[in-house]
Structure 1
Amino acid sequence: MGKKVILYSLLLMLQALAGCKHKDLYMGHDSSSTLILQVNWHLEWNIEYLIDWETEWNPEWIMDWSKVTPPEPEGVRLVTETREEGYRQIFNLPSGGGRVTLQPGVYTALLHNNDTEYIVFETEDLVSTLTATTRSRSRSPYSENNPAESTVNPPDYLFSSYSEEFHIRELEEWEDGEEERIIEIDVAMHPVVFSYIIRCEFEDGKEYINEARGALSGMAGTVNLSNRRTLDDVVTVLYEDAEVSDYGVEAVVRSFGLCNFDPVPTDEHPNGHYYTPDGVENPGNLLQNGRPRADEQTRNILTLEVALKSGQTKTFEVDVTDRMREQPRGGVLLIKGLTVTPEEGEGNHSGGFEVGVNDWGNSEEVELPL
């Protein structure tokens, strides 16, 4: 569901954001050209891979889709770099547009939204290496009980578009009567953060739940913004905003998706594909920030913690690896058959989770029905 907004007077950027790798843009010696970018925000919360989310979803289920679908961003950031000197410029613009002036030359450019809170941007030498991660975070008692896992906040919604090369050339003279040259370019802004709808259905004991939260392990910790590929560092995404409903617990978890996945469609892989990183040297099987690397043994474990009226906490753990590999970029996880017994849940405690509580109560592994 794309929505177009026009960024007026961006003297610069690219056509390759519209699909080409190279195109000549022209400027006069003394007059500024005006580049009008028509930015198409692709407000998609998932990318279909092996299964369609609608096959997992009952249309009778009620969902607040504003929690799932990304809103239109509030601002954009343009990062340009000259190909020869490597001179970099950064422009922050409102989503409605702004004017940017570039000298004639050959450029590489990256565009992404700049209205994020938890995103951390990192780069090496080139714009093409710019990556996004999300902020690390610990949560008691989960982090204490899982010390080997790198835990993070869910990333903010993030979009990107990239031009490998574009030229701005000087004009010797303007055409008769021409006072300004206007160039119009369509720019497709694609998401790199996606949503997973988690629906946990309880057979018994839902009435004992005061509050719920959880974690989703085995997720990608980093994404390259130029090619939108995820890297192979593994994190666990913590989520807090789970909602207790009439059937159990519902949550929406944002993530970069699974590791080592390229979402860009090709003739051979129209829905994207998993890939094997080449030439990566990481002694000790570690990538950035000391995070473990994804391999064939990496599992996606959905953890659900429920605070009960008894004052205790019960934890469910579900291996959702097979279902996640079918939905590497957002989707639906349906968990059935959960229970809380009267012995576990009965009481008059009305509060939720308490910081520093180390007793999780019972832990139960649940088999995911496929």
Structure 2
Amino acid sequence: MEYRPLDGERRKQVMKRWTVAMLLLAMLSGCRKDLCYNHEEHSMAVKTHVQAAWEQEWEREFHINWEEVWKEEWPREYDEFRPEVSEGMRAIVYTDEKYAESNLNSEGGRLAMPEGRHSLLFYNNDTEYIIFDEVTSLATASATTRTRTRANFAELHENERTVTPPDMLYGAYVAEYEAERTWDPVALPIEMRPLVYSYLIRYRFASGQQYVAQARGALAGIADKVYLKDGHTDGVSSTLLFDCKVDELGCTALVQSFGAPDYSYTDGYTTDQTNKQYTLSLEVMLRNGKTLSYTFDISQMMRIQPRGGVIQVTDIVVSDEDGQEGAGAFDPDVDGWEDEIDIPLPLN
């Protein structure tokens, strides 16, 4: 074969073909890499992306609109009591008789689920005292709180469990969601609504407040649990045990709870509340070490505030005889004043 050197024109054509070949090779290599590492992103799949908004309400209007009638002389603003947005969410996907759980951040994110029709349940997953129960079934999924005991506590309502106030709990529910395979992400907006509400409890003294060193209270007749699907409560009640802050105005506590028993957001009270009783108590430790207890019937105030609000009792008296009894050298930070909270430990 006779060797013929390339002339200028043929050399340009060869170099052009070589450049095109190298570019094609690079493109093919890039495509193989994308397909290897981002196959699902660039293919049809269920791409549901939850977009969460949070409703930060601490009480719900029933007969009183506290946000409108908030008194200026109260030392704290109404908005100070609004709960914080939670750090993350638990999502449960219910499909026929099966369910699957996953975690998302507070803004939401991609929710893994198969193609088909599902029901979706969301709640925040950063609680400490909440106990979730029967979440395998959407109809029975509920939340309660831990048992709390107090030495020498006189039972306010017979056979009620004494508990710690629950953490802040939010929830959202999607009754029916059709998950389809798509090329592009599909947004799913949800609103995380409160399932726990707060009662601002204020104890005010007519006299003798200067003798009070510590205080704690109990609220009996409150709902024992809440159902995650729609936020309703059943007829089971419990007694919340809580601590109070003592200041120049009296004793104050912000107590979170599941609200009134037998209450539905859509239907209101589901049973007759005429004879429903709520009892509030206050126990104070005086600076001389003596303890005094007071009990108040707050049924009327609670019936008109089934989901948070303000409870105030007044005209509490500590007599000079009680306040000045003894030598006055007692240390109010004594053992036995703290409550015990039942926190089950894992066995393995």
User: TM bucket by the smaller chain?
Assistant: 0.7 to 0.9
Question: 1:78–1:325: structure 2 CA closer, same or farther, 3 Å change rule?
Answer: same
The residue that corresponds to 1:273 in the other structure is 268
The residue that corresponds to 1:76 in the other structure is 89
**In 2, Cα distance between equivalents of 1:259 and 1:323:** 14
In structure 2, stretches of 5+ residues that fail to align are: 1-39, 339-348
Aligned residue type for 2:299? T
Give yes or no for contact 2:222–2:237 (8 Å, CA) kept in 1: yes
The residue that corresponds to 1:115 in the other structure is 126
Match of 1:309 among 274, 287, 301: 287
1:30 deviation in Å?
Answer: 4.2
Aligned residue type for 1:75? G
Percent identity for Structure 1 against Structure 2:
34
Aligned residue type for 1:329? R
Give yes or no for contact 1:56–1:332 (8 Å, CA) kept in 2: no
Larger mean CA deviation between 49-58 and 105-114 belongs to 49-58
Match of 1:351 among 311, 323, 332: 332
**In 1, Cα distance between equivalents of 2:79 and 2:214:** 21
**In 1, Cα distance between equivalents of 2:200 and 2:305:** 11
Q: Per residue, is there more helix in 1 or in 2? A: 2
Deviations 1:191-243 (A, max 9, x none): 01000001111111111000110100000001111011011101000102x11
Question: 1:52–1:246: structure 2 CA closer, same or farther, 3 Å change rule?
Answer: same
Deviations 1:62-116 (A, max 9, x none): 1276873211101100001112xx2210002222444332211111110000101
Q: TM-score, normalised by structure 1?
A: 0.74
**In 1, Cα distance between equivalents of 2:282 and 2:320:** 19
**In 1, Cα distance between equivalents of 2:59 and 2:269:** 16
Question: 1:143–1:337: structure 2 CA closer, same or farther, 3 Å change rule?
Answer: closer
SS at match of 1:127: coil
Any residues of structure 2 matched to 1:1-370 within 5 Å, and which?
30-54=43-67, 57-63=70-76, 68-83=81-96, 86-123=97-134, 126-142=137-153, 148-170=159-181, 180-240=183-243, 242-264=244-266, 273-276=268-271, 297-346=275-324, 347-352=328-333, 354-355=335-336
Count of residues paired in the alignment: 296
Question: 1:90–1:143: structure 2 CA closer, same or farther, 3 Å change rule?
Answer: farther
Aligned residue type for 2:233? T
SS at match of 1:111: strand
The residue that corresponds to 1:281 in the other structure is none
Please tell me whether Structure 1 or Structure 2 has the larger radius of gyration of its CA atoms: 2
Larger mean CA deviation between 57-66 and 114-123 belongs to 57-66
Question: 1:320–1:68: structure 2 CA closer, same or farther, 3 Å change rule?
Answer: same
Question: 1:353–1:332: structure 2 CA closer, same or farther, 3 Å change rule?
Answer: farther
Question: 1:64–1:307: structure 2 CA closer, same or farther, 3 Å change rule?
Answer: farther
**In 1, Cα distance between equivalents of 2:136 and 2:91:** 17
RMSD: 2.6
In structure 1, stretches of 5+ residues that fail to align are: 1-26, 172-179, 265-271, 277-293, 358-370
**In 2, Cα distance between equivalents of 1:335 and 1:353:** 27
Question: 1:249–1:55: structure 2 CA closer, same or farther, 3 Å change rule?
Answer: farther
